[in-house]
Chains A and B, each alone.
Chain A
Amino acid sequence: MYRIAIISPDRFLWALLCNSLSLVEAEVACFERWSEALIEPLSHYNLILTLESYPFLNGADVARRLRLSNRRPRIYVLSWLHDEQNVLSLLESGVDQYFTLPVNIPRLCGKITAQINEWRNG
């Protein structure tokens, strides 16, 4: 089963994403903070959707740690920020996709579905 982790302090976005992803065939786990999510190994997940980008930029270097593990999950960041430097920094630090909020939910779900299909086909 494809496993997705949602890390968002915003409970609306949490509920919205959870509900939208219930239509795709995946197991979804939700965390409010990165500190909660990091308790168990994140490499168990295939996709991480996060609203908080600072763990990639503050030296904790979550992306590098995930890359070192055997199964590297894909990382999607959703943010209200649109700053070019911020986006480039995140992409350089190992984030796979950057979505600016407000987000088109059907398009996001479409991307994730395509990702799942790709994963299934090996």
Chain B
Amino acid sequence: MSGAMGEVVGAYTLALLVGAVLLAAASMLHARVRQRRIGIRRTLERCYVNVLNRRLLEGGSAWCCFPLIERRSSRLTLAVVVAQIGAMTYGYDRRVLAKVVRRYGLDRLLLEQARLSGGMRRVEWLHTLAQIECSDRIYQRMMNRYGRSRNSYIALCMTLAALNHSPERSIAILAERRGRLSPFDLAEVLMMLKRGLIPVAYQPLLRAEQANVRLLGLCIVRYFGVTEAEEDIVAAIATDDREVAESALFTLCALRLRLDRELVREAARRMSEGERRAWYRHLASEGYSSRAIAQIVPEKELSLLGEYVEQTVASYKRALMN
């Protein structure tokens, strides 16, 4: 080994040893600081939940006092508490929560915090911001900054914020959304709907042109078991949009509605054989009889798949001869 290489190895070793020791020391310090911070945050959270919940339960106009609120971290904790109480309850006076947000500038603080953070931390703050009632100015600033983001989670936060800010425009907001709503996005919108923030009018949603709106409509129908929407669901099966058609088929089965319709048979014909088998299995597990399923098996495959359907359904039911 040349002398130069020896020096390189020595420097590498020294750097690594120092690095490892520093990392261990930093980890210990970080663990201590974090422990203390988490302890303080949990205590404050509990305290803020108590103050805010008591005020919401008892009503009246008295102002609530939050300890240590002058600190930035405490105000962030309060913002999370306000968002969580809003998300977990309904029937409370939302004006009280809005007043707390305005008084302590929680919306501005959350937007600032989102700007300072990156990755999933930013999404977390924006999600919290989307759940509280923010002022027009902050809403505009947020939309200007993140409205065109290609990150799917940030796009979802922006949709939720828009729905929260102007619930009366909910159909328009969903129709104008550029990307397709993923199942997770739909679930988050539905949670907002459950809190009573956006109206549950499924008919205009199911009859809309846009796929996102129809998907939400189908999701609502399925979730609340609206069997009256049968005709609209069947109409949705005939659409060219594959995702909407699949969701409509699933909704039809979830509500245990009749399958012997030409549109359903047509949808079954459009599937590949593997998809068809998967769907028959799903129907069998939902409790449909082999006769009901056989009605939608394409005629030319009846000899092949008829046996499969019989066997699958029989595997869910007690065989009396056994």
Contacts and interface: CB of A to CB of B under 8 A. Distances in A.
Query: Is A–B contact present in the complex under a CB 8 A cutoff?
Result: yes
B124 interface: no
A68 interface: no
A109 B92 CA distance: 13
B229 to A, nearest CB: 16
Contacts of A105: 53, 56-57, 89, 91-92
B46 interface: yes
Contact of A102 (B42, B50, B90): B90
A107 B42 contact: no
Contacts of B54: 19
Contacts of B200: none
Nearest to B224: A82
Contacts of A107: 91
B92 to A, nearest CB: 7
Given A20-B57, A23-B57, A104 B49 contact: no
A71 interface: no
Interface residues of B, number: 23
Contacts of A67: none
A41 interface: no
Given A84-B225, A103-B90, A107-B91, A11 B57 contact: no
Interface in B211-245: 223, 225
B45 A16 contact: no
B87 interface: yes
B85 interface: yes
Contacts of B85: 12, 16
Interface string B22-46: 0000000000000000000010011
A103 B89 contact: yes
Contact of A15 (B49, B56, B87): B49
A110 B194 CA distance: 21
Contacts of B45: 11-12, 15
A11 B90 CA distance: 18
Contacts of A102: 87-90, 191, 194-195
Given A11-B42, A12-B45, A12-B84, A106 B91 contact: yes
Contact of A12 (B49, B90, B195): B49
A117 B45 CA distance: 32
A16 B48 CA distance: 10
Nearest to B223: A82
B50 A15 contact: yes
A82 B223 CA distance: 7
Max chain A C-beta neighbours (<10 A), residue from B53, B54, B56, B195: B53
Contact of B53 (A16, A82, A101): A16
A88 interface: no
Contacts of B91: 104-107
Nearest to B92: A105
Interface string B119-149: 0000000000000000000000000000000
12 contacts: A12-B84, A15-B45, A15-B46, A15-B49, A20-B57, A100-B194, A101-B88, A102-B87, A105-B53, A105-B56, A105-B92, A109-B57
Interface of A: 11-13, 15-16, 19-20, 23, 82, 84, 100-107, 109
> When A and B form their complex, which 10 residue pairs have the shortest distance between CB atoms, in order from nearest?
A104-B91, A15-B49, A12-B84, A19-B53, A19-B50, A102-B90, A15-B46, A102-B195, A102-B88, A105-B89
Interface of B: 42, 45-46, 49-50, 53-54, 56-57, 81, 84-85, 87-92, 191, 194-195, 223, 225
Given A84-B225, A105-B57, 20 more contacts: A12-B45, A12-B49, A12-B84, A12-B88, A16-B85, A19-B50, A19-B53, A23-B57, A100-B194, A101-B88, A102-B87, A102-B89, A102-B194, A102-B195, A103-B90, A104-B89, A105-B89, A106-B91, A107-B91, A109-B57
